[in-house]
Amino acid sequence: DLKHELGVFFTSIFLRILESANSTFYQKTMVLQLLHSICRDPQTVLDIYVNYDCDLKQVDIFAKMLSHLTRIVQSGVHAPAVTPSVLSPEQELLLRARATDTLVCMLDSLVKWSKLHGKDGELVWLHTGEVLPRSQVATQASSHSSDAAQEATDVSRKEEEEIDAILRQKECKTMLQQGIKAFALKPKKGLDIVCKAGFLEMSPLAIATWFHQTPGLDKRAMGDYMGEGDDFNTSVLY
């Protein structure tokens, strides 16, 4: 399973090229062309969102793609930078145009997928894995038997259950990310958010394990929490 490795490769190489002021015009153009090709396929766009942005253990690739593209589109040609840009104003204009095209392509793919696979979309998946037009499923249901009608109902119910499960998973991930951000500012408040969301038990061992296994936690906030002098906080350290 290369899911995690693909996520790291995507964010550490492709998106890093886009955000680096030292990347050449050719490098940025190649990455934008790649993203445009990816965004042309509605199913691929949705698969990225479901498998990464809705997975608690994966990085938010869809959100990062959206953020990087938006930043390129909104950046001024002569905006001041911390490091001098290697791009000319004309090249930056071209990149903004390419990023805009990619954003439009991404949104267009999402609309297409919604029309095809939404609750009232044109396509449905049968339990056999076969994909059929919704109208054909309805025709089969009315012309063949009550079993076909029941299958159509089961397929529709299964689609709704899968979508609900994905939305709940994304909601949980958003809550966890909010807790991690809050922890960096106020450790106790962040832990309270995470505990109330059901991700963590309020015990020294559980908190210590969470500190050790959760990427992205602010190291200084961890030290501040364990060094407060409270017996409970100190027991997390030991």
CA pair distance 31, 25, nearest whole angstrom: 10
Helix (H, G, I), strand (E, B) or coil at 144: coil
CA pair distance 44, 34, nearest whole angstrom: 13
Contacts of 118 (CB under 8 A, 6+ apart): none
Which of 22-36, 126-140, 158-172 has the least mean pLDDT? 126-140
**Span 70-80, pLDDT tens digits:** 999 987 544 44
**Span 47-92, pLDDT tens digits:** 999 999 998 888 899 999 999 999 999 875 444 444 456 788 899 9
**Cα dist. 52→127, 129, 130, 141, 230 in Å?**
25, 23, 25, 36, 38
pTM of the shown model: 0.69
What the block records as the tokens of 37 is 């090709």
